Structure 1
């Protein structure tokens, strides 16, 4: 397969490829590491035609991008951001799915075609042609991506709004594991997945480079860096912060109404955000899980927690990045 010439790409082969094929049986074409930071992506995503579309995506100055590592509170941040930016238009938010209002740029590139074939016709239109679908959206566009900012140079080098959301990496690991298991994308154990996570063999890893790349530009006036734990603990204050970011002003009654709309119990019952996801095998699953800030404790053994803590300390020792709690 051909890759973009100005990126260094390293196909995953040998024993590692065999091991990953057992954990990810639906990814029949395997994986590749892209660029100097060795971003771990499926082959389909890293093909020249596809990665070129990402690297050269045409930005508009009134775009809003939400970037995150998967399962970091992205969906909550999308709904919050869209409503704040669109004058609290609850009527439209209740009639149009979030993926229509705030499409996911990467979706058609990171899943194999036979997996996407299980989507509804409307979902197929959005996912299979996701880049074209996003590109042709009327302004102002709202776009979600899990690609690291390194692979979104036109976004970083523009004045469009960028909101990056990060979450306790232990909670990310648990949520990412359940999500992939529910979609039948991952067949390994939780401990195996954690090993892959720490060894940068999960999609969009290395995780710490993903977060630190965004942290490094957090002071730019068009960038807002958020922590999921803060969103859950101080939702009202974060609503006000995001409103200020968009130059909007809302009264206390409006803010309380939005906070109630985003309450995790209401959020989980909202079919416009918590859509059912078809899987190749088994029953459909819902997108939103528990949304807890301490849910990682349900799967971590003491030994695994010890290894994760060392991994965290090792990767934060040369940065001023500090996660809540």
Structure 2
């Protein structure tokens, strides 16, 4: 079994630590870089990382993995409903956070941030790994941790759905969410520099995506692009259904498509939990659901920098994002 002590862990120190402490004031214990790829994670990972590395998976698990703000929430709801025979009744009465729990959250969220949470939220958030471990099969699990840090998932036959999104749209959505949650004090240009230089949580972005892309041909893995989901949702519902060896009629597919329509999705209290808890504006967590919004905020200089960064990181792979 792999253990945290076997990974190279470097604490972020010096001027960078001071800068990040100002930009991320609620990360009171700072950040660490983990493993050969230097995954950027909160210090709390040092205390609880073994829970992730040695998590007990089951063959009938479904793991939904993505870099933050890549369309994970939409994908969670889609996958859960397809995998659970379009059980809309349960989807409308049971929060998504319980149907597809976010297993990482206890390893990245400082305990003091739980003070305003309800007792049930604290159970799911503070003890998220244990909460998932104790769920009945078949389990549906969300994670932002890269596949590199999930050896027991990668080496199992459980289903893995990875969703990727254009990094320009990712950084815009990521910045807006952190700002609205008061977890980031910098401006957008600073956020872009952090993102490119791998100083945001779960970075490096490219290693995150490419580690999944490299094993996408395995029969238990489905690699999706958020751009494809938004362009033709019904066809992607059929693709997911085939992945589960299920068949749904046109009426069922149309119902799910309408359920996932961004206007309906944003108003759905079972998926927009941050808004329901009064911590964020309704449009902050479930945002516009569009692609190409980066064009509204990027300066020509930022666009040039991102384009060069993208080209440089795609030169050693056949990964191509949809236009």
Q: TM-score, normalised by structure 2?
A: 0.97
5+ unaligned residues in a row in structure 2: which ranges? none
Q: Offset at 1:320?
A: 0.1
- Residues 33-85 of structure 1, C-alpha deviations (whole Å, 9 max, x = no match): 000100000000232xx100000000000000000000000000000000001
State the match for 1:36 in structure 2: 36
Distance in structure 1 (CA, Å) of the matches to 2:303 and 2:116: 37
Q: Offset at 1:299?
A: 1.5
Distance in structure 2 (CA, Å) of the matches to 1:111 and 1:187: 17
State the match for 2:115 in structure 1: 117
Aligned length: 319
State the match for 1:193 in structure 2: 191
Contact 1:55–1:153 under 8 Å retained in 2: yes
Q: How does 1:90-169 map to 2 (within 5 A)?
A: 90-169=88-167
Q: Offset at 1:283?
A: 5.2
Matched position secondary structure for 1:243? helix
Range 118-127 or range 206-215, more displaced: 118-127
Matched position secondary structure for 1:291? coil
Contact 1:264–1:291 under 8 Å retained in 2: yes
State the match for 1:23 in structure 2: 23
Distance in structure 2 (CA, Å) of the matches to 1:142 and 1:162: 10
Contact 1:66–1:163 under 8 Å retained in 2: yes
Q: TM-score, normalised by structure 1?
A: 0.96
Range 91-100 or range 297-306, more displaced: 297-306
Matched position secondary structure for 1:185? coil
Q: Offset at 1:295?
A: 1.3
5+ unaligned residues in a row in structure 1: which ranges? none
Q: Offset at 1:115?
A: 1.1
Q: How does 1:166-177 map to 2 (within 5 A)?
A: 166-177=164-175
Distance in structure 2 (CA, Å) of the matches to 1:16 and 1:81: 39
Pair 1:68–1:219, CA change in 2 (3 A): same
Q: Offset at 1:290?
A: 1.0
Q: Offset at 1:277?
A: 4.9
Matched position secondary structure for 1:164? strand
Q: Offset at 1:213?
A: 0.1
Distance in structure 2 (CA, Å) of the matches to 1:184 and 1:111: 14
